[in-house]
């Protein structure tokens, strides 16, 4: 981004908000960078006599010469007025009503300016005793809307009427200084919505910015407030945090501020001061691998990431069950899988379709060591074989020894020709110890032997 100098000719103060207006010639945003569908919505709202602004992350990313994923719009039109203007509109949301304008798969989100939730005349909002916003359907002016936004770099509005940028909280200055700064009193804002703590970390990692001192100070202490957030919302947030391309950096920042520990309490039990436990090694491996896949444009599956993150807490739980309840390894792993996943979904509501895949990946770790006869061929035909093998390979990097040898065997077997595969399986049959699987002795055959 080219540094934008402060414009002096327009300056108004609204309570804590300090408005700066940057004319078309004073910033680098061009309409060519804005999606055609977003422009259609902006122009139609403006043509109908309403204010229409591109807002938030879209403006921020355009100023940073990036490519916004979403183009969100704010207006003084109510959701019902927006719906009258657009036949392809549907209204969503209970906490705050939003209009979604549908262009095939492309959705442009339009929000009515939000007002202060203390406004008794328009008040349809509700707060908990702790100050958390539970419902927030209060409409207001653009100035009030700016005050309600979380970070200064998200409180910039691109005006389609004259192509100017309205910067309400020194956002452009903070972009130039590479700072994440909350608008208003940080503790109050975090108590209103504890997820703002996660957003501060996510933007810092995504943009490679520092978190401003006052914004950072309360986070570690207030981190436990995340336990009051619905687990379904935290699932969505966890994907934004760990599967957006900066997962490894985000995890380290979250951990530093005591946030990761709130989302993954069973994982946090295995944290060490020097980051040396198998759990911590696996976290670094899987998040680095996820970041790389995103960079290369490859598909990612949340289930694989969660399977890797929770694997060692699960095996530790299984080990305890084997010792305390004398369960077999198979039964202990099945039981431990239930315990760990049941515990995890209390904080992050991982959907059932993903927990089913997590279980399959975990169960394959046992099955992949059983390769004699036709087993190896059958395993390769399984739907989740590739995910199971990829995870085995990661475990090999962490555990070394037999696990690493098993991963190498499977790597060779997959890439070998028919004759080579047959030889590899035959070799296992002639030396059972290499199979990594010890067959249970049949009690009846033992009796038969002794009777001979």
Which residues participate in catalysis according to the annotation?
Answer: 70, 72, 150
Whole-number Å distance between alpha carbons of 293 and 245 = 8
Whole-number Å distance between alpha carbons of 355 and 303 = 7
Euclidean distance between the first and the last CA atom of the chain, given in angstroms as a whole number: 86
Whole-number Å distance between alpha carbons of 23 and 95 = 35
Whole-number Å distance between alpha carbons of 288 and 274 = 18
Q: Which two tokens stand for residue 376?
A: 């190896």
User: Strand 72-75 vs strand 106-112: parallel, antiparallel, or unpaired?
Assistant: parallel
């Amino acid at each position: 981004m080219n540094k934008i100098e402060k414009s002096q000719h327009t300056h108004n103060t609204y309570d804590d908000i300090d408005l700066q207006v940057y004319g078309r010639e004073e910033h680098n945003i061009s309409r060519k960078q804005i999606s055609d569908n977003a422009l259609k919505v902006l122009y139609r709202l403006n043509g109908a006599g309403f204010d229409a602004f591109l807002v938030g992350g879209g403006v921020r990313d355009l100023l940073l010469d990036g490519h916004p994923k979403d183009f969100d719009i704010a207006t003084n039109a109510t959701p019902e007025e927006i719906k009258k203007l657009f036949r392809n509109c549907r209204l969503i949301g209970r906490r705050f009503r939003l209009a979604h304008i549908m262009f095939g798969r492309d959705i442009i989100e339009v929000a009515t300016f939000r007002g202060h939730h203390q406004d008794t005349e328009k008040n349809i909002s509700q707060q908990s005793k702790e100050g958390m916003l539970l419902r927030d359907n209060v409409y207001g002016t653009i100035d009030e809307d700016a005050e309600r936004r979380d970070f200064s770099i998200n409180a910039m509005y691109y005006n389609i009427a004259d192509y100017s940028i309205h910067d309400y909280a020194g956002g452009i200055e903070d972009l130039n200084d590479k700072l994440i700064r909350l608008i208003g009193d940080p503790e109050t804002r975090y108590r209103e919505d504890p997820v703002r703590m996660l957003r501060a970390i996510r933007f810092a990692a995504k943009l490679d910015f520092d978190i401003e001192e006052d914004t950072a100070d309360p986070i570690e202490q207030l981190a436990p407030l995340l336990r009051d957030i619905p687990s379904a919302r935290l699932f969505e947030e966890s994907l934004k945090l760990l599967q957006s391309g900066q997962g490894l950096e985000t995890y380290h920042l979250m951990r530093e501020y005591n946030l990761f520990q709130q989302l993954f309490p069973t994982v946090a039990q295995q944290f060490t001061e020097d980051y040396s436990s198998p759990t911590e090694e696996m976290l670094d491996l899987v998040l680095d691998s996820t970041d790389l896949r995103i960079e290369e444009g490859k598909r990612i599956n949340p289930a694989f990431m969660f399977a890797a993150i929770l694997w060692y807490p699960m095996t530790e739980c299984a080990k305890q069950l084997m010792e305390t309840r004398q369960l077999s390894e198979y039964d202990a792993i099945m039981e431990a899988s239930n315990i760990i996943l049941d515990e995890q979904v209390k904080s992050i509501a991982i959907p059932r379709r993903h927990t089913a895949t997590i279980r399959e990946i975990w169960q394959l770790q046992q099955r992949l060591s059983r390769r004699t006869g036709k087993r190896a061929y059958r395993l390769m035909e399984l739907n989740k074989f590739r995910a199971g093998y990829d995870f085995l390979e990661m475990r090999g990097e962490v555990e070394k020894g037999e696990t690493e040898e098993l991963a190498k065997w499977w790597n060779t077997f997959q890439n070998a020709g028919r004759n080579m595969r047959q030889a590899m399986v035959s070799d296992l049959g002639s030396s059972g110890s290499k199979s990594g699987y010890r067959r249970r002795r049949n009690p009846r055959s033992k009796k038969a032997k002794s009777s001979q």
